[in-house]
Each structure stands twice: as structure tokens, then as C-alpha cells.
């Protein structure tokens, strides 16, 4: 009897351990999964546009800006068109320095406390040509 009881208890502890390990994954996995997205500056077909020009991300995610066709390009977040209407926030997300050669890269990581909402960005040399994009940050 004693042997059965102790092996039952051991089995119970093993089950509990498995349950705790599995449930901790379930709880922590989503917040740990920060993503990186690529936005091309200039489309593959040589249009003066971002590709894609709209995307949806979560706070903590990163956008990698890849200089593609018809440079120079840069990335400037509109200080009036962000949820906080914050010039400082827009500036911290921007990369004003022109990228001259194809395959150059730079990136923007949206802090985990980024206010949710829509962020408009543009390329300074080609804003007039319609090189404007939008990031939607989910809450």
C-alpha cells in the first residue's frame, strides 16, 4: 500500500510540474513575441512609394526600413499625425538622414509604451510625389 501511495504522489507532482510549465508558456509567450517588419523605400517596380505603405504592429515591434529603388529616401514621422500629437515621439521614431544607396537599412523599434493609434510617416524628398505611409499601433 505504501509503495502505491508514494508513486501516486510522485505521479501527482509530475503532473503538477507539467501543468505549471505548460501554463507559464501560455501566459508569457504572446508578450515575448516582438516582431520585425520590413518596409521597402521605393517599390520593387521603381515607384516612389513605401512597400507596404500601411501596416499594423504592436508596441515593442520593430520596422526595418530597407532602401530599395529610386533613392535617396528617408523616414520622417509626422509630428501632427500621431495619437499623442507629440513632436518628440515623432522625432524619436524618425530617421531623417537620407539613405543614398540601395540595400542600406535602418530601423525603428516602437517602445512598449507607444500609445495605440495611427502614425503617418513620409519620405521628405518624395512627400509631394505621394511617398507617405501609415503604421497602426494596436493597443
Binding site for Cu ion (CB under 5 A): 73, 123, 126, 131
When the beta carbons of 53 and 58 are compared against Cu ion, the nearer one is 53
Q: What is the DSSP letter of 67?
A: E
When the beta carbons of 40 and 73 are compared against Cu ion, the nearer one is 73
When the beta carbons of 89 and 133 are compared against Cu ion, the nearer one is 133
Indicate if 123 belongs to the active site.
yes
- Torsion angle of alpha carbons 117, 120, 121, 122, nearest 10°? 170
Least Å distance between CB 120 and Cu ion? Answer: 15
Q: Which of 47, 95, 99, 126 is catalytic?
A: 126
CA gap 97, 107 in Å, rounded: 12
Beta bridge partners of 109: 62
Neighbours of 35 (CB within 10 A): 10
Q: Which residue is nearest to Cu ion (CB)?
A: 123
Indicate if 95 belongs to the active site.
no
When the beta carbons of 50 and 110 are compared against Cu ion, the nearer one is 50
Q: Which of 95, 99, 100, 131 is catalytic?
A: 131
Answer for the pair 62, 37: CB distance below 8 angstroms, yes or no: yes
The backbone torsions φ and ψ at residue 117, rounded to the nearest 5 degrees and listed phi first, read 140, -165
CA gap 8, 126 in Å, rounded: 71
Least Å distance between CB 99 and Cu ion? Answer: 9
Least Å distance between CB 98 and Cu ion? Answer: 9
Kindly list the catalytic residues: 73, 123, 126, 131
Amino acid at each position: 500500500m505504501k509503495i502505491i501511495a508514494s508513486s501516486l504522489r510522485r505521479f501527482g507532482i509530475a503532473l503538477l510540474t507539467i501543468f505549471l510549465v505548460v501554463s507559464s508558456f501560455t501566459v508569457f509567450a504572446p508578450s515575448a513575441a516582438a516582431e520585425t517588419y520590413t518596409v521597402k523605400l521605393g517599390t520593387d517596380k521603381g515607384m516612389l512609394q513605401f512597400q507596404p505603405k500601411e501596416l499594423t504592429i504592436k508596441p515593442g515591434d520593430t520596422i526595418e526600413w530597407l532602401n530599395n529603388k529610386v533613392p535617396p529616401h528617408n523616414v520622417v514621422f509626422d509630428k501632427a499625425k500621431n495619437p499623442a500629437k507629440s513632436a518628440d515621439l515623432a522625432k524619436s521614431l524618425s530617421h531623417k538622414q537620407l539613405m543614398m544607396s540601395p540595400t542600406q537599412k535602418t530601423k525603428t523599434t516602437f517602445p512598449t509604451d507607444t500609445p495605440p493609434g495611427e502614425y503617418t510617416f513620409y519620405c521628405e524628398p518624395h512627400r509631394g510625389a505621394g511617398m507617405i505611409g501609415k503604421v497602426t499601433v494596436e493597443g
